[in-house]
């Protein structure tokens, strides 16, 4: 099937202003930092909980968790498929999508719009016809449906006759064939077209945002000789996919979100009667069994789902299936049956009409958890049946996303069935997550939990401990994120040799992951944008990206800060590394000395630049070259290079760099000549001093002597002024093993 290339999708995403798109549906307020706040349309939101971040191209509701990119918003809000949402966004923002092979694709869009308009017209007409039909009105009152309710749910009537609606549609500019496409008319083999719905009570089926996508028709004919279907639905159309639509959700979603629970019933009138009776957190999966899409939609609003259980075989099968669908979505199912006082079964519609909403709420209290339900229905005497049941319940439990809930259920199962608490042998119901989701999760570190042996963790709550992130590292990440033009420079520094060296430049694994991801993305695609990055990283990193402040740099400030920060990171890295060299020999002392000289050199380099004695290009060049030294230190620390060699290592300048410098550094002549030479001298100066002339201090004294003589050179100022108070050099307590980073 032809589809837009990923490239086009990314271009459109970059082109579309998500705030502008969402504003089309929900009023947004600027929240001051380049972001927007609005009332979330996906739950009953009082205070604005939906955050819109145009720079990342995402929205996120902090109350109900709904979130995603611009396409996701349109998909969810307008109940469109992905392609439909892409086309909608393109249309709305004036982006020219390429023609997809066949012209039928734009026809599809037009058809969808046509069906939508035609459905609205039909709805109006059916409602008018209802008011004219004593029979239909009588029927409604026999079902205790009030006028208010029938208006709320757009209940109408399609009179008997072949061309009642078609005639009306034609008068309003539609063709009879349009009516067929919308599922409102049928075409016979001889080509004749007639109304599909005749002498039926018409129930408008709306999507989440209230668009009428289809109709359900209840037969009102009294002709008993001619067997007609009691209920007839619109066929699937450009607008209607029944597996996506839950009847009544448009009206009930606020209440479902408020109660955090949903009652799932079978028929339209079950839903309508409960709603009218005041039990408003109800939907009907009518015309189809509950689907995964249904459950995903409901999971946004509800934690608990009440399934009305019908005692017969079909009802049991449907209940089993529903369990398998709702449990993996994190919804706790409860099952209940309705009966009259004499024990005969009754549907929710009749129950509410006969006994009232309060009695219904009482009945809900008698619902059982799914495990009790399954046990009650099974033959607990036969070992085979028990084993089957244990396996089934365990596979259900394994699909529950919540770790603690899974624990609790495992405990229950082991107690009730006297079986072990392992889920290891149990096959999960089906893949729980899409490939994308799994990939994202596999990047997230997993906590080592004692219970892991018993219950494999499927999912982790993502959280990020901001306090554990050094401010200077956060700022550096933001700098790179907001200035994609720096990516070439970043790639030059953090190149393959750097990656191979295994150096960890950053204290925080999150920042390390950020830089690696950005560089990988850039190396792979030749581009890097906040949105693209966001789409390709772990949940933890997403949280990090969401939390970064909006900031702007004025050229060439971003370039200057980039290199200055690298010199600071280099110094900090050396300070950390010094501590990992055991002070067992003079050689070790010498390497430490070299590191101290290196940090001094970095400091002087910075000073020279700040004093405008060297150009930014020369500065950049020296910073990039200096990493060879860092790579060398790293290899010494890892024991790959004898310390002796390290001692012999002369300077960080390109011309004399020894082997571990894998990247061929540019010839010095490429840099502006005079200043580059000057810098080399500066860089060489401290290191060129004979190492052996280092003070004859005992190694022990070196422990406390990290930054020899550190009067900053004249004119030296720590580069990123925001950060200098936040970090300290030479933290003796730093320990590679300790895990300060409380993030998971
Ligand atoms: Zn929300």
- The domain that holds 44 is classified in CATH as 3.90.580.10
Given 345, 375, 405, the domain boundary residue is 375
* E strand segments, 632-694: none
Gap from CA of 450 to ligand 1 centroid (Å) = 34
* Same domain? 597 vs 655: yes
* Same domain? 350 vs 308: yes
Q: 3-state class of 283 per DSSP?
A: strand
* Same domain? 205 vs 313: no
What's the CATH code of the domain at 132? 3.90.980.10
* Same domain? 356 vs 412: no
Residue 98: inside a domain, yes or no? no
Gap from CA of 690 to ligand 1 centroid (Å) = 66
**Each residue's pLDDT tens digit, 483-513:** 988 988 998 898 877 877 778 899 888 898 8
Residue 681: inside a domain, yes or no? yes
**Each residue's pLDDT tens digit, 599-630:** 999 999 999 998 888 999 999 999 999 988 89
pTM: 0.49
Gap from CA of 506 to ligand 1 centroid (Å) = 35
Q: 3-state class of 233 per DSSP?
A: strand
Residue 713: inside a domain, yes or no? no
Measure the CA–CA gap between 698 and 95, rounded to whole angstroms.
71
- Are 678 and 614 in contact, with CB atoms under 8 Å apart? yes
Mean pLDDT over the full length of the chain: 76
Tokens of 89: 């966004």
Number of domains, the chain: 5
- The DSSP secondary-structure symbol of 631 reads H
Given 186, 215, 240, the domain boundary residue is 240
Residue 157: inside a domain, yes or no? yes
- Are 662 and 627 in contact, with CB atoms under 8 Å apart? no
What's the CATH code of the domain at 298? 3.40.1360.10
Residue 718: inside a domain, yes or no? no
Gap from CA of 614 to ligand 1 centroid (Å) = 54
Gap from CA of 88 to ligand 1 centroid (Å) = 22
Given 387, 413, 445, the domain boundary residue is 445
> How does residue 311 score in pLDDT terms, banded at 50, 70 and 90?
low
Residue 458: inside a domain, yes or no? no
* Same domain? 77 vs 182: no
Ion ligand 1: residues, CB < 5 A: 40, 42-43, 61, 63-64, 66
Give a three-class secondary structure readout of 312-369: CHHHHHHHHHHHHHHHHHCCEEEEECCECCCCCECCHHHHHHHHHHHHHHHHHHCCEE
Gap from CA of 125 to ligand 1 centroid (Å) = 35
* Same domain? 362 vs 314: yes
Gap from CA of 49 to ligand 1 centroid (Å) = 6
* Same domain? 83 vs 171: no
Residues forming a β-bridge with 345: 339
- Who's near 642: CB < 8 A, 6+ residues apart? 636
Gap from CA of 77 to ligand 1 centroid (Å) = 12
Is the pLDDT assigned to residue 689 strictly greater than 60?
Answer: no
* Same domain? 504 vs 624: yes
Residue 196: inside a domain, yes or no? yes
* Same domain? 518 vs 385: no
* Same domain? 110 vs 86: no
Alpha-carbon distances, residue 309 vs 86, 302, 321, 370 (angstroms):
40, 19, 12, 11
Residue 404: inside a domain, yes or no? yes
The helix (H) or strand (E) run that includes residue 262 is: strand 261-265
The boundaries of the domain holding residue 337 are 249-375
**Each residue's pLDDT tens digit, 180-201:** 999 999 998 888 999 999 999 9
* Same domain? 618 vs 473: yes
- Are 330 and 401 in contact, with CB atoms under 8 Å apart? yes
Gap from CA of 41 to ligand 1 centroid (Å) = 6
* Same domain? 613 vs 481: yes
- What pLDDT is recorded for position 620? 93
- Are 273 and 143 in contact, with CB atoms under 8 Å apart? yes
Gap from CA of 545 to ligand 1 centroid (Å) = 20
* Longest Cα separation, the chain: 114
Gap from CA of 65 to ligand 1 centroid (Å) = 6
User: Strand 58-61 to strand 50-53: parallel, antiparallel, or no bridges (unpaired)?
Assistant: antiparallel
- What pLDDT is recorded for position 715? 35
**Each residue's pLDDT tens digit, 14-51:** 778 888 889 888 888 877 666 788 999 998 888 888 99
Gap from CA of 292 to ligand 1 centroid (Å) = 20
């Amino acid at each position: 099937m032809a589809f837009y290339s990923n490239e086009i999708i990314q271009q459109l995403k970059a082109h579309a202003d998500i705030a502008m798109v969402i504003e089309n549906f929900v009023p947004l307020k600027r929240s001051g930092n380049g972001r927007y706040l609005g009332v979330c349309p996906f739950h009953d939101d009082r205070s604005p909980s939906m955050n819109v971040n145009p720079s990342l191209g995402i929205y996120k509701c902090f109350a109900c968790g709904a979130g995603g990119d611009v396409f996701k918003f349109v998909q969810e809000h307008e109940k469109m498929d992905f392609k439909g949402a892409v086309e909608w966004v393109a249309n709305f923002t004036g982006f020219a999508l390429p023609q997809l092979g066949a012209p039928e694709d734009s026809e599809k869009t037009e058809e969808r719009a046509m069906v939508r308009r035609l459905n609205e017209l039909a709805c109006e007409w059916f409602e008018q016809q209802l008011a004219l039909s004593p029979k239909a009105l009588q029927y409604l009152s026999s079902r205790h449906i009030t006028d208010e309710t029938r208006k709320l749910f757009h209940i109408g009537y399609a009179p008997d006759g072949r061309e009642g609606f078609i005639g009306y549609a034609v008068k309003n500019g539609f063709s009879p064939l349009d009516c067929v496409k919308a599922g409102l008319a049928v075409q016979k083999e001889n080509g004749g077209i007639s109304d599909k719905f005749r002498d039926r009570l018409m129930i408008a089926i709306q999507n989440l945002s209230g668009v009428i996508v289809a109709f359900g028709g209840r037969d009102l004919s009294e002709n008993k000789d001619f067997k007609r279907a009691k209920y007839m639905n619109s066929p699937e159309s450009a607008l209607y996919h029944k597996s996506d639509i839950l009847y009544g959700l448009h009206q009930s979603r606020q209440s479902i979100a408020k109660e955090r629970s949903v009652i799932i019933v079978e028929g339209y009138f079950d839903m309508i009667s409960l709603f009218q009776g005041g039990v408003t957190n109800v939907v009907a999966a009518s015309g189809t069994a509950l689907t995964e899409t249904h459950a995903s939609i409901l999971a946004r609003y509800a934690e608990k789902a009440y399934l009305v259980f019908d005692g017969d075989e079909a009802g049991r099968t449907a209940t089993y299936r529903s369990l398998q669908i709702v449990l993996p979505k994190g919804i706790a199912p409860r099952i209940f049956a309705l009966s009259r006082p004499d024990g005969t079964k009754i549907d929710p519609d009749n129950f509410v009409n006969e006994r009232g909403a309060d009695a219904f709420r009482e009945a809900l209290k008698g619902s059982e958890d799914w495990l009790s339900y399954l046990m009650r229905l099974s033959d607990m005497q036969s070992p085979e049946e028990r084993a089957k049941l244990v396996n089934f319940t365990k596979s259900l439990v394994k699909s529950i996303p919540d770790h603690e809930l899974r624990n609790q259920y495992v405990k229950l199962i082991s107690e009730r069935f006297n079986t072990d608490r392992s889920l290891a042998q149990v096959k999960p119901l089906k893949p729980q997550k899409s490939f994308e989701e799994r990939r994202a999760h596999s990047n997230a570190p997993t906590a080592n939990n004692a219970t892991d042996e018993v219950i494999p963790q499927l999912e982790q709550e993502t959280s990020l401990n901001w306090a554990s992130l050094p401010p200077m590292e956060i700022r550096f990440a933001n700098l790179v994120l907001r200035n994609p033009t720096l990516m070439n420079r970043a790639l030059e520094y953090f190149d393959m040799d750097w990656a191979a060296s295994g150096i960890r430049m950053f204290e925080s694994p999150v920042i390390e992951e950020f830089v690696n991801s950005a560089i990988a993305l850039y190396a792979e695609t030749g581009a890097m944008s906040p949105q693209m990055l966001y789409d390709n990283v772990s949940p933890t990193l997403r949280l990090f990206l969401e939390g970064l402040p909006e900031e702007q740099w004025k050229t060439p400030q971003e370039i200057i800060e980039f290199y200055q920060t690298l010199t600071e990171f280099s110094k900090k890295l050396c300070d950390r590394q010094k501590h990992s060299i055991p002070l067992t020999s003079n050689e070790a002392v010498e390497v430490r000395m070299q590191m101290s000289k290196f940090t001094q050199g970095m400091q002087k380099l910075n000073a020279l630049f700040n004093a405008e004695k060297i150009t930014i290009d020369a500065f950049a060049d020296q910073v990039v070259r200096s990493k060879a030294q860092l790579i060398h230190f790293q290899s010494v620390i890892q024991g790959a290079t004898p310390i002796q060699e390290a001692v012999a290592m002369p300077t960080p300048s390109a011309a004399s760099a020894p082997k571990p410098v894998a990247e061929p550094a540019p010839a010095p002549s490429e840099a502006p000549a005079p200043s580059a030479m000057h810098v080399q001298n500066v860089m060489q100066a401290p290191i060129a001093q004979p190492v052996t002339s280092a003070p004859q201090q005992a190694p022990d004294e070196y422990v406390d002597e990290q930054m020899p003589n550190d009067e900053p050179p004249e004119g030296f100022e720590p580069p990123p002024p925001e950060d200098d108070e936040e970090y300290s050099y030479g933290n003796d307590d730093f320990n590679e093993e300790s895990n300060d980073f409380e993030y998971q």
